[in-house]
Structure 1
Amino acid sequence: MENNKALAYLFLRLGIGISFLGHGIVRLSKIPAFRSWMIGLFNTSLMPEIFAYWFASVLPFVELLLGILLIIGWHTRVAYILGSAVICTLIFGSCLIENWEAVAFQLIYGLLFFILLFYMEYNKYALEKSFSGRKE
């Protein structure tokens, strides 16, 4: 039974990791277009354009890094906390432009990060377990 819980945990971590990796790869290949799109989304919001510019410039790299960390299972606790912070930031941005559908999806990601962090004792299949006897 414990093995099933560890496998379920692994596949949840992999699913979120693949999603973040995919977002990062696609956006990295077209950062100028992604940045322009993001600035356009927020042009009527309270957010200053410079914030949208820098967030759109950094987000693809953060998504790529999070995806890699989650997939290989390295520094997973840090990845869950960073991922949760990214999701909170995205939720705030979506609220500013009144994109409530996006908020709903982002809340699901937030819940999944909560589950992963809360049940870390099931994180048995992770690269960090191979190199360290410590538990993150």
Structure 2
Amino acid sequence: MKATPQQTAYTLLRITMGVNLLAHGLVRFPKLNGFRDWMVDFFKDTPFPTALVSGWATVLPFVEFGIGLLLIIGVFTYRTSIAGALLIIILLFGSCMTEQWEWAGMQMIYALIFVILISQIEYNKWTIQKYFK
């Protein structure tokens, strides 16, 4: 069960990104209404309809939590990483529409991490998914 340095690094990166996203969702659960209200107010000067922003703000913490949890435990890592990358694309678009360039820069780093997780999937050794096969 010895792992290569690449497999160890991949696993640690996968878990780190998972913890990040899981925590993003987790901290928003108890203040979901406030988070939703903040997002609606924050996006009021964009072309996005209020109902769309409100719905997205309600769903976003659950999406972040779910992607994070799946990355941590290593289930469907390839598909989960693609879902994470798509999430970052959506968040990046929102950041650009509100001219939050610092946020956009940080989200580009997240995108790069997902590129690594997707393109280096062959190093995904430590996962509970192997027990489902």
Regarding TM over 0.5, the answer is yes
Identity of aligned residues (%): 42
CA contact (8 A) 1:34 1:56 kept: yes
The answer for the alignment partner of 1:111 in structure 2 is 112
Give, in whole Å, the separation in 1 of the partners of 2:16 and 2:97: 28
Alignment match, 1:47:
48
CA distance in 2, matches of 1:55, 1:128: 29
For the aligned residue pairs, the C-alpha RMSD in angstroms reads 1.2
What secondary structure sits across from 1:52 in the alignment? helix
Question: 4+ residue stretches of structure 1 with deviation over 6 A?
Answer: none
CA distance in 2, matches of 1:24, 1:46: 25
Structure 1 residue 131: Cα displacement: 2.5
Q: Corresponding residue for 1:71?
A: 72
In structure 2, distance between residues paired with 1:37 and 1:131: 41
Q: Counterpart in 2 of 1:34?
A: 35
Deviations 1:70-122, CA, capped at 9 Å, x for gaps? 00000111111110110000000011100000000001101100100000000
CA distance in 1, matches of 2:40, 2:114: 27
Question: How far does the alpha carbon of each residue in 1:22-68 deviate from its partner, in whole angstroms, 9 at most, with x for none?
Answer: 01100111110000111111011111111110110000010110111
Match of 2:5 in 1: 4
Match of 1:107, as an amino acid? M
Asked if the contact 2:3/2:125 (under 8 Å) is kept, the reply is no
1:56 aligns with 2:57: yes
Unaligned runs of 5+ in 2: none
- More displaced stretch, 45-54 vs 115-124: 45-54
Q: How many residues align?
A: 132
TM-score by length of 2: 0.95
Say which SS state the counterpart of residue 38 (structure 1) adopts.
helix
